[in-house]
Structure 1
């Protein structure tokens, strides 16, 4: 397996497929998953001739289960370590959920020439937590509940999230896909409980307002209007207003996990944006 070692000595696992001289697309996964969550996109885009790169966030998947650094600044620094090691230039960075926050933090600070475009899918910016500036956010008690459920029985908590609101399998008329649930659970249980516990604070309490304002590359914001994990009104609809070159695409009835269960639609629109 392939790894990059960060400045603070953390081994970050990554996948790097396709021609090394092709335009890179870098995928950033959500909590508490891994690079495997992008299987449908990695396969699609490598077959389109792109170079595709996806890493496991520190403490997630196959990356080192370290005790510290589970915050957005470290996440973005780890991305930079991968980008620098592979010398990725003119890349498109695509982030889902927590990975969308990671994209915002990294792209806002990226060195010139490294980033061509960005995509935020069901992403957490500008901030998930209810604050004075963002009164439409979720109360802290919601995230305290996540932490309590994780600490009490992580395995059951992950099963419940994946089989219910994440993919909208709790909606009437939506057919559940047990293998998709199993794959979500598998990825979650590969990672470290400490990293996932700390990561709840990172994805819920980080304010990305200034990051979004600083991004100066074309940015596509994609969000399902039935996203039960990251409600669209408090995220995408606000984030696009802060972006200099933002475009919002709303998917009626789509869930938080639309990149998996609606991969055909999402991949088509991603390709159009990247080529456009």
Structure 2
């Protein structure tokens, strides 16, 4: 079932809640520029295994409200906290993909892992999406700026180009169009604003604040968040386990959905 939760006076977050009576809960945080539908191939299977699967659309994306501002990692993490508080979630597993992984890490640090018993990071954009003086991995600032500029000039073309590097395996034309449509559901200004956060924010100091068991799943062929990011996360997060997904790019949740689902189920126990 779907419903809205108010996280600020004028901002409501859309929540998709499947199998709410289940004993174990997973809260999914999607990546840029999509929405909760990104996890269709987890929601197809995990509820039948006894899991409550909750997906939210980040502000500015999917069915959520689309304010013009409020796209820092702190604000997005606070939105998650408001959802967790409203739903009274406790002892749940937090799963974040791409920028959703980055926001999940910020949530863990900013809100002291509130309610979270385990964390899973899928192709997470952390500890930094962009290259820095002491971190030679990821994208250049100029590359991200080009994405932002292209978002304002021709967002459909930008999204199509992003889809071309998202997956490692061949995707059918209908699937490619489905993925493309997810990006179009966002507002253009929120799409650009989150790119700005990806460019400017870093999570190096946040990693050490994570105290719960953490599973890192990362596609070896990821062109969006290169595999060295996963190695840096494993080094920075105590009690973390890294599982390389050998036949995937950034879209591991679909390209190797059976393996990803299996790893998540085994991790939660």
Instruction: Give the TM-score normalised by structure 2.
Output: 0.95
Go from structure 1 to structure 2 and tell me whether the alpha carbon gap of 1:120 and 1:217 turns closer, same or farther (over 3 Å shift).
Answer: same
CA contact (8 A) 1:130 1:138 kept: yes
Q: Distance in 2 between matches of 1:35 and 1:112?
A: 21
CA contact (8 A) 1:124 1:204 kept: no
Q: Which moved more, 1:96-105 or 1:245-254?
A: 245-254
Q: Distance in 1 between matches of 2:170 and 2:225?
A: 21
Deviations 1:155-187 (A, max 9, x none): 12112221x11012xxxxx43322221111111
Taking only aligned residues, the RMSD between alpha carbons, in angstroms, comes to 1.4
In structure 1, the residue corresponding to 2:8 is in which secondary structure?
Answer: coil
Structure 2 equivalent of residue 166 of structure 1 = 166
Instruction: Figure out how many residues of one structure are paired with residues of the other and give that number.
Output: 268
Q: Which moved more, 1:24-33 or 1:152-161?
A: 152-161
Q: Distance in 1 between matches of 2:153 and 2:86?
A: 39
State the 1:111 CA deviation. Answer: 5.1
| Structure 1: gaps spanning 5 or more residues | 169-173
- Superposed, 1:99-248 pairs within 5 Å as 99-110=100-111, 114-162=115-163, 164-168=164-168, 174-233=169-228, 235-248=229-242
Go from structure 1 to structure 2 and tell me whether the alpha carbon gap of 1:111 and 1:141 turns closer, same or farther (over 3 Å shift).
Answer: closer
Q: Distance in 1 between matches of 2:66 and 2:238?
A: 37
Deviations 1:17-38 (A, max 9, x none): 1133512100000001000011
- Superposed, 1:49-88 pairs within 5 Å as 49-88=50-89
Deviations 1:169-222 (A, max 9, x none): xxxxx4332222111111111110010001001123211112111000000111
Instruction: Give the TM-score normalised by structure 1.
Output: 0.93
Q: Distance in 2 between matches of 1:69 and 1:113?
A: 21
CA contact (8 A) 2:107 2:113 kept: no
Match of 1:249 among 238, 243, 246: 243
Structure 1 equivalent of residue 254 of structure 2 = 260
State the 1:141 CA deviation. Answer: 0.7
Q: Distance in 1 between matches of 2:76 and 2:259?
A: 29
| Structure 2: gaps spanning 5 or more residues | none
CA contact (8 A) 2:74 2:110 kept: no
In structure 2, the residue corresponding to 1:226 is in which secondary structure?
Answer: coil
Q: Distance in 2 between matches of 1:142 and 1:23?
A: 40
Q: Which moved more, 1:148-157 or 1:76-85?
A: 148-157
Structure 2 equivalent of residue 171 of structure 1 = none
CA contact (8 A) 2:247 2:255 kept: no
CA contact (8 A) 1:147 1:197 kept: yes
